[in-house]
Amino acid sequence: MPKTLFQKICDRELPASIVYEDEHCVAFKDIHPGAPVHLLLVPRKPIPKLSDCAPEDQTLLGHLLLLAPKLASQQGCGDAFRVALNNGVGAGQSVFHLHLHILGGRPLKWPPG
């Protein structure tokens, strides 16, 4: 399988503003930020989308969710941030490598468009 765009970023084959990485995931700034803070938190494992996750991914998904508030806090969002995950074209997913959006740094309205 060819590497996904985000795998290439995780492997530092493509440039990105990486703010965090560990053995399981990488977080970097979104190229088209929708808020002053807009990170993408990406597992190194190239799962296309949330609905492709299997029971074996439970620990990985928990790791990502537990990291999100820490990264938001590190970026200065305090306790006010949003975690969004688009699943499928109809929900706005454009990169088919699982990723959490972490948004903050401004008031966030609900519901999103």
- Per CB under 6 A, the segment of 28-36, 55-63, 67-75, 105-113 that binds ligand DGP is 28-36
Task: For residue 48, give both structure tokens.
Answer: 């296309």
Select the residue interacting with ligand DGP from 4, 20, 60, 86 (CB under 6 A).
86
Rounded distance between C-alpha atoms, residue 82 and residue 103, angstroms: 5
- Cα 44 to Cα 4, 40, 48, 62, 81: the distances in Å are 10, 12, 11, 14, 23
Least separation in angstroms between CB 44 and ligand DGP: 16
- Whether 99 is catalytic is yes
Task: Provide the binding-site residues for ligand DGP, judged by CB under 6 A.
Answer: 5, 16, 28-32, 40, 86, 92-95
